[in-house]
Amino acid sequence: MKQLAALVVAATSIALVPSAAHAAAGVRCFHTSAPYKSYAPVNPRCASGYALVDLKAGTAQVLTVTNWLQTRTWARLNAWHIVNGSWVHRWGPWSARIGAGGFASPGRKIEGDSLTPQGSYGFQFMFGVYANPGVHFRWRHAYRYDYWDDDPASARYNLWTNINNANAGANPEPMHQLPVYSYSAVIAYNTARVPGKGSAIFLHVGDGQATAGCVSLPRSRLLTIIRWLRPGSHPVITMEFL
């Protein structure tokens, strides 16, 4: 009888242990160069060389995009995921391009400044001029009538807009654009659509140049990343000047 009770207690204890396949919400520091390590900080600051990532509940995939000179247009991308309950470095460091002015100061991104916003963000959906290359997120085909409204005075600011059905504001961003939007992922930046805070922040195919505020990668590496990301893993991308 005592053995049976012990087995019941043990089984109950196992059931109460939360799954380690996904992270709890909170902040974590991720090393941006070898040896790749991560840790939960005592206060919301990281040691030198670590990116501070604001994890969502259930996050199991992380991208970090970092550099050491705020005005530099090159950055380093690393990918992490949870394996057997532990954060493991997956890919990188890979060279990425960011805004033509580098990183915006935290909370200071404004429309049209050609700066990449700092912070941790999720992904909304993926899109491209070409067919779905095998991504797990919702895919939208970019037709010639599709634009992104980046006009702070517009009612559809920071939204994908079919101009056959709605006004995309002044000088909207065309979504049918090669090579940069061959394949792309929408970073969930300014989802509250605060006018002037910035819009159309994507992870997309690079053209060899700095971006208008997005993050870009060579096509093969971009495809590797967007095929790997999964909605159920609640991926987060952190863009940060260290």
- Looking at the chain, the whole-number percentage of residues with pLDDT higher than 90 is 89
First to last CA, the chain: 59
CB distance 120 to 59 below 8 Å: no
Contacts of 107 by beta carbon, 8 Å cutoff, 6+ apart:
none
The tens digit of pLDDT for each residue in 18-72 reads 334 667 689 999 999 999 999 999 988 999 999 999 999 999 999 999 999 999 9
Does 212 fall in a domain?
Answer: yes
CB 85 within 8 A of CB 195: no
Peptide linkage before 93 cis (omega within 30 of 0): yes
Range of the domain at 58: 26-241
> Is residue 222, in this structure, part of any structural domain at all?
yes
Q: Per the structure, how many domains does the chain have?
A: 1
Q: Which residues of the chain have pLDDT under 50?
A: 1-20
Q: For residue 170, is it within any domain?
A: yes
9 part of a folded domain: no
In a domain, 132, yes or no: yes
Q: Does residue 1 form part of some domain? A: no
Query: Is 13 a domain residue?
Result: no
Residue 14 lies inside a defined structural domain of this protein = no
Does residue 35 have a cis peptide bond before it, meaning omega lies within 30 degrees of 0? yes
